[in-house]
Amino acid sequence: MIRIFLYLVSVLIVIFGLTFAILNSQAVSINLYVRTYTFPLSILLIFSLGLGFILGLLILLVVYTKLKIENKRIKNRVKIAEKEINGLRSIPIKNQI
């Protein structure tokens, strides 16, 4: 059942992509000061979407790595604190009467 659903979703995405490319086939010029390039609008939009996705993943990777490092440091601090607490619990309490 899930395979059929995924197949239908894949077909719909392909159909949507084809109609998107057909409806946005106008040529667009990009001036990069040194040279001018001409591409179909649909290709530029897909390229921009892909580039944004890749940049977003790179930023996510940097943030994720920083959080993993911070998490590891915090776990080490907790481990040290737990050892200290267990050491303090083993010391007998003296009566102050």
Assess whether pLDDT exceeds 90 at residue 91. Answer: no
pLDDT tens for 36-50 read 999 998 888 889 999
Ordered by start, the domain boundaries in the chain are 2-90
CA gap 30, 82 in Å, rounded? 61
Model pTM? 0.64
Q: What is the pLDDT of residues 69-87, one digit of tens each?
A: 999 999 999 999 999 998 8
- Say how far apart CA 79 and CA 59 lie, in whole Å: 30
| CA nearest to 28, candidates 17, 19, 20, 37 | 37
Q: Name the DSSP letter for residue 34.
A: S
